[in-house]
Amino acid sequence: MTLDRTVLAFAGLMTLLSVVLTLFVSPNFVWFTAFIGLNLLQSSFTGFCPAASIFKKFGIKPGCAF
């Protein structure tokens, strides 16, 4: 799996996790969902993704975007 697909899978997983936590644990987890969305938005403009940096250190091979 390339870095691009890994980051997209991780973002999707975190979004779904935050929705489940919001529904079943506390409504305050909606802020986690907002944080994920803002991180995705800033990444689209700047090209910098903290998750991509971490995954690179784990040896995931780069893709086209990162």
| Tens of pLDDT, residue by residue, the chain (66 residues) | 899 999 999 999 999 999 999 999 999 999 999 999 999 999 999 989 999 999 999 999 988 875
Q: How far apart are CA 23 and CA 47, in angstroms?
A: 32
pTM of the model: 0.85
| Pick from 45, 46, 63: nearest CA to 8 | 63
